[in-house]
Structure 1
Amino acid sequence: MRRRRNISLHPKYIFGILTAVCVAIMILSFLYGDKLSPVKTAFGSVLTPMQKGINTVGRTISDKMDNFQELKGLKSTNKKLENEVETLKFQNKALQQDKSELSELRKLFKLDSLYPDYPKVGARVIGKNTNNWYNTFTIDKGKDDGLKVDMNVIAGDGLVGIITEVGHNYSTVRSIIDDSSSVTGVFSKTKDDCMVDGDLTLVDDGYIRVGYIRNKQVQIKDGYEVVTSTKSTKFLPGLLIGYASNVKLDSNNLQQSGYLTPSVDFKHLDTVLVITKLKEKLK
């Protein structure tokens, strides 16, 4: 059997042949236009639908490309807008933080004006114990800033507590709501002495204890102010501790006791003032 020979032409030869054919057709069409009219008509009837189809496909592809370019532009614009939104969020967060810090500074300035006779230094709370309350916490000032153990700490409208430990750049504060805290106080209106004791079992209800009111006849009304007494061994006098609530005669009929609403929000402490003057030891 004879083997069939595979005839293969180089693409450039095919291109040359097709070009020659096209040129020949053009020449024949020019010279014999009238005679080739039926052929033109036949080709036209075949090529016109093809041309329409090609045009339709071309327009579709062109529209798709335009849509693709438009989508690409929208994605780029959207990315820019997302970046701008993130920038605005960051700026807004910074402004809110500045506003919060300004509010804290205003509160400290107001507090400072309430006790003008005492020298003070501002400090920021940098840590606290694991519960929800600031019964013990750490501030960012210490020995390097002139702070010492037993210096009084204030915030809000009055007394927060006392420094119990001092490092070079930090200090530990025990607040008046802590179970181990005890402050000698006095009712501003009646001048009766009392003892204010911290109690974490009451602080969720917004109270600490006040007792040892020796004057059985005095009527202590709700809202009466209690401030630190001159008789206190560690606390400077005149610092607002809180407001009396439900003070009554004890069952032993020897003294009165009740509750105190602290003048400080011990669930939210960010900044405090430390009074840099120590209470003089009583002789």
Structure 2
Amino acid sequence: MPLSSLLDPASPWLVFTDLDGTLLEWSSYSPKIARPGLLRLRERGVPVVFCSSKTATEQRALRQELGIRAIPAIVENGAAIIVPESTGLPTAGWEPAPGEPGRRALALGLPVAEIQTRLDRVRARTGQALRGYRDISDADLAELTGLSVESAARARQRDFSETLVEVLDDETWAQLDAEFAREGLECRHGGRFHTVTGAGTDKGRAVRQVIELYESAYGRSVQSVGLGDSANDKPLLEAVDHAFLLALENGSWADLATDGLHRVGGRGPYGWVEVVDGLLDDGTDDTVKQKSETAETGSADV
């Protein structure tokens, strides 16, 4: 069955995508492989929403690299949503996004200073160092990840989460979950590190909020597609209508189970393009093409 048959041609749709290991290559963090798919989605008027542990600063740099402006962003594992005013989406009452003129932000998580205070209490009780981004330099993070020093600096500019670089076995992380919960925190493992946010903060909650924004703007229901590669993406994949789990760099899949999940053989961004091409290859450019129902879908951006 072709992937395009999953979509109702009479209904608009959105794409929510993780970044590292999904849209971006694993080691180079390059969007080069996925760029043609992004262009195809732009041509069809399909909004793409980045949904990642990356910070607002990191996502802004990626948007600039890709020439993308008018899209919402879900940052720091769903801890905040940032929406350009030009999209026409209903964000009345949202705060101005710090450092991003013309954008509005909705915080869904705890501020980073409060998270760090609570983490300090976990450290004191458990004796675990739980070394995080605040404890290392830009150069240290660049060495750990392969990022440039400039990119590492953007990654460390966190507003609603703390990323832990501590290396512990699975049993210890599981034992720490109770301590995090005691402090009203949650810790999730991404593709490389663990990210701590306020309890109840996850990608799925933010995805549902963005879907509601589009449905309010369109005045009707929308279909949602989600792509991810790690256990950290489970809330995202559970929140969408059509969920795709991409293969990891080693060809296996993350240990993740959710109803209706499609496992994709393509690895990372190769799988991303495979899914997007499959959804768009319906035999005609008019079947799924969306009308300019908001300023975003009619813009020259993805």
Q: Give the TM-score range, shorter chain.
A: under 0.3
Which structure has the larger Rg over C-alpha atoms?
1
Give the number of the structure whose residues are more often strand, by fraction: 1
Could you state the TM-score of these two structures normalised by the residue count of structure 2? Answer: 0.20
> Could you say which structure has the greater relative contact order, defined with CA pairs below 8 angstroms and 6 or more residues apart?
2
Could you state the TM-score of these two structures normalised by the residue count of structure 1? Answer: 0.21
